[in-house]
Amino acid sequence: MSKALKQAGFTFVGPTICYALMQASGMVMDHTRDCDRYAQLVNGG
């Protein structure tokens, strides 16, 4: 992912940038089980 972003013109791509991109695109979900949105997101909402 880092190499692809650098080829796309990003000048600095570290682990924080990559993880934030994965969160924003829905690749990872960091809502905990006690979060109000957790059940909605797990069920496709």
Q: 18 among the known binding-site residues?
A: no
Q: Which residues of 9-45 are buried (b: 16+ CB within 10 A; e: fewer)?
A: eeeebeeeeeeeeeeeeeeeeeeeeeeeeeeeeeeee
Amino acid at residue number 45: G
Q: 35 among the known binding-site residues?
A: yes
Q: Which residues are annotated as a binding site for Zn(2+)?
A: 31, 35
Annotated binding site: 31, 35
